[in-house]
Amino acid sequence: MSKLMMIFALCALVGCKANNNNDGMARVKIETNKGDIVVMLYDDTPKHKANFLKLAKDGTYEGTLFHRVIKDFMIQAGDPNSKTASKDQQLGDGDVGYTIPAEFVYPKRFHKRGALAAARQGDQVNPKKESSGCQFYIVTGTVYNDSTLVNYEKRKDYGVLDAAFRKLVMQHASEIRKMQADKDEKGLMAMQDKLLAEAREQVKDVPGFKFTPEQKEAYTTVGGTPHLDGDYTVFGEVIEGMDVVDEIQHVATGTADRPLDDVVIKKVTILED
C-alpha cells in the first residue's frame, strides 16, 4: 500500500525588521563574546516573558553557550550544562527542572528573521508542545519567493489530509495487517481508496492554509523559518544586534552543530526605559 507523505520546506538565510510598537515591552541585553544582542519580549506571551526575565535576574544564563548553531536556520542557547562543558561534550539536554505551557499567538507571532523562540522536546514525548524552561533560539532563516510560499501553503493543506488519513489507518490497523499477511493487494488498494475518501470528507470544511500579508512580506523580504510556525512558541524578537547574530551563525561548527570555539553568554541584563 502506498503511503501519503508530508514534505516540509527547510530554511537558509536573512534580515530582521524591528517591531515599532514596542512601548512598554520588556527589553533584555544578551552580552556575548561576539557582541551584544538586545531582544524585546512580547506581552502576549506572558509566561515565557516572565520566565525569561526571572532567569535573567537570577543569572541563570551567565556563562552558558550558544551550543547549537545552524547557518541560515537559527542559533540556540540556554543549556545550563554548557557552563562547564568540555570541548567534546554533547549539549542540548540540560534544563531547569520545569517546562512552560505553549503560548502560540499565531499568526501574529511567527518565525521571521530575528524571532526569539523557545526550544522544546519533540512531539512524541511532548505532545502539548511545552517549551523548555531555559533553552531558546534566535531565527536567522532564509528568504523565500512567492511561488515557494504558495507551494508551502499547498503542502500544509496536504498535511491536514495526511494526518486525517493516518488516523484512519491506525483505526483499521488490524484489518490492514490481515490483508498484508494474506497478500491481498486488491483489498489493500480498496482500503486505501476508502480511507482516502473518508479523510477527504473529514477535512472538506477545514479552511485552507494561507500566510497572512504580514508573514508573506517578512518571509519574502527579510526571511525566516516558516516550517516552525505553530509548533514552537515565539515570545520576542531581536531589536538590536542582528549583526552579532549573523556573526554567530557563521562560526565553524563540529559535532551536533556545536561551535568549535565557544560562543559564550557573558551576562544578561534587563534594560530600563
pLDDT tens-place string over residues 75-105: 999 999 999 999 989 999 999 999 999 999 9
pTM of the entire predicted model: 0.82
Average predicted confidence (pLDDT) for the chain: 90
Residue 79 has what pLDDT? 98
User: Of 51, 40, 28, nearest to 101 (Cα)?
Assistant: 51
The pLDDT score that the predictor gives to residue 209 is 86
DSSP designation for 256: G
Report helix, strand or coil for 219: helix
pLDDT on residue 159:
86
pLDDT of residue 157: 84
**pLDDT per residue over 135-154, tens digit each?**
999 999 999 999 999 999 99
Structural domains of the chain ordered from first start: 26-143+222-271 (2.40.100.10), 146-203 (no CATH)
Helix (H, G, I), strand (E, B) or coil at 266: strand
Contact (Cβ atoms closer than 8 angstroms) between residue 240 and residue 246: no
Q: Using the predicted structure, report yes or no on whether residue 13 has a pLDDT greater than 80.
A: no
Beta-carbon contacts of 88 under 8 Å, excluding residues fewer than 6 positions away, are 255
Check whether 16 has a pLDDT greater than 50. no
Instruction: Name the least confident of 3-17, 28-42, 82-96, 174-188.
Output: 3-17
Give me the half-sphere count of Cα atoms (radius 13 Å) on the Cβ side of residue 82: 27
Evaluate if residue 39 carries a pLDDT over 60: yes
What is the predicted pLDDT for the residue at 72? 97
